[in-house]
């Protein structure tokens, strides 16, 4: 494949996902990573961080809806939320659909990601303009330590466990997240691919269960075509045991109709794990 026409994410030099692009719209090097935006015929605009697909206009709705709405469905009348990572603003854009929220904080370490996404992905990042949203450019692992029993919901929209994202996979961080939740609060972590990152997935679930308890940390799945392996996982955690597979509250019918992936049936089905996934976490 001609490198001048194709953007390829190679995973561990063993497999790859490629997209043909028409032009590169943006490139910069922040203090933390290389930021690139491509225009492609099939995936729309694509955000790449250090050579890895992070956001595509084609399928980003799956990730952003599935990290946000299953967790929010666990809380009746949520008032405060913290998103760690997620500089594209997609999770924030989903959260602001709930009028109940009074305070929503985005903590993203790399201001360059926020700026690029506001410029090139205005629809995905539109929630950042909501007056209830505060944007903080700090290290999320250090920032969350400032809070005790502050948030109803914490979403950990992290990159892979390398570079600045590595601290978001450590036990100390998980304990800080738990301490920052109000009683009955919910934290949701993206936990990688059970196909291609089986060890990271299994170890993360194990560590989350050691912090939150085995009945208070449950993985679920969705399909994101542009991510390695396509089958992707999140792990939902709470300060108290919960049956996460049953939404205790819900979006309004008007809001659900505006979504492209998540609904009540998808919520239930997402927690039904294939046998190989169950074996990884047993």
What token pair was written down for 139? 């290290």
Q: Which helix (H) or strand (E) holds 174?
A: helix 171-180
Q: How far apart are the first and last CA of the chain?
A: 41
Q: pTM of the entire structure? A: 0.95
Which residue in the list 59, 88, 110, 157 is annotated as catalytic?
157
- Delineate the domains of the chain, giving CATH numbers in brackets: 6-56 (2.30.140.10), 60-280 (3.40.50.150)
* 3-state DSSP assignment of residue 246: coil
What token pair was written down for 170? 């450590």
Summarised one tens digit per residue, pLDDT across range 112-171 is: 999 999 999 999 999 999 999 999 999 999 999 999 999 999 999 987 776 667 778 899
In terms of Cβ atoms closer than 10 Å to its own Cβ (0-12, 13-18, 19+), residue 255 is middle
> Scanning the structure block, which residue is given the tokens 């009540």?
264
Summarised one tens digit per residue, pLDDT across range 57-100 is: 999 999 999 999 999 999 989 999 999 999 999 999 999 999 99
Alpha helices per DSSP H over 105-158: 111-120, 140-143
Q: Is 110 a catalytic site residue?
A: no
Q: State the angle between helix axes of 171-180 and 198-212 in degrees (0 to 180), rounded to the nearest 10.
A: 50
């Amino acid at each position: 494949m001609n490198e001048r026409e194709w953007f390829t994410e190679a995973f561990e030099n063993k497999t790859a996902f490629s997209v043909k692009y028409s032009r590169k719209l943006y490139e910069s090097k922040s203090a933390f990573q290389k930021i690139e935006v491509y225009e492609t015929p099939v995936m729309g605009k694509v955000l790449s961080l250090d050579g890895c697909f992070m956001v595509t206009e084609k399928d980003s709705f799956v990730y952003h809806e599935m990290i946000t709405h299953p967790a929010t469905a666990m809380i009746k009348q949520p008032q405060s939320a913290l998103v760690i990572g997620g500089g594209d603003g997609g999770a924030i854009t989903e959260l602001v659909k709930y009028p109940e929220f009074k305070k929503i904080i985005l903590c993203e370490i790399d201001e360059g990601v926020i700026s690029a996404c506001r410029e090139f992905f205005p629809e995905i990042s539109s929630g950042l303009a909501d007056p209830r949203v505060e944007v903080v450019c700090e290290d999320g692992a250090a920032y969350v330590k400032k809070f005790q029993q502050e948030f109803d919901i914490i979403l950990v929209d992290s990159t892979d466990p390398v570079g600045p994202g590595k601290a978001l996979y450590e036990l100390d961080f998980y304990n800080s997240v738990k301490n920052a939740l109000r009683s009955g609060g919910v934290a949701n972590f993206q936990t990688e691919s059970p196909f291609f990152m089986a060890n990271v997935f299994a170890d993360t679930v194990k560590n989350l269960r050691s912090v939150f308890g085995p009945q208070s940390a449950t993985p679920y799945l969705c399909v994101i075509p542009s991510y390695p392996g396509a089958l992707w996982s999140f792990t939902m955690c709470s300060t108290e045991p919960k049956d996460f597979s049953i939404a205790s509250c819900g979006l309004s019918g008007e809001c659900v109709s505006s979504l492209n992936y998540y609904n009540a049936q998808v919520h239930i089905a997402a927690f039904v794990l294939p046998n190989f996934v169950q074996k990884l976490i047993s």
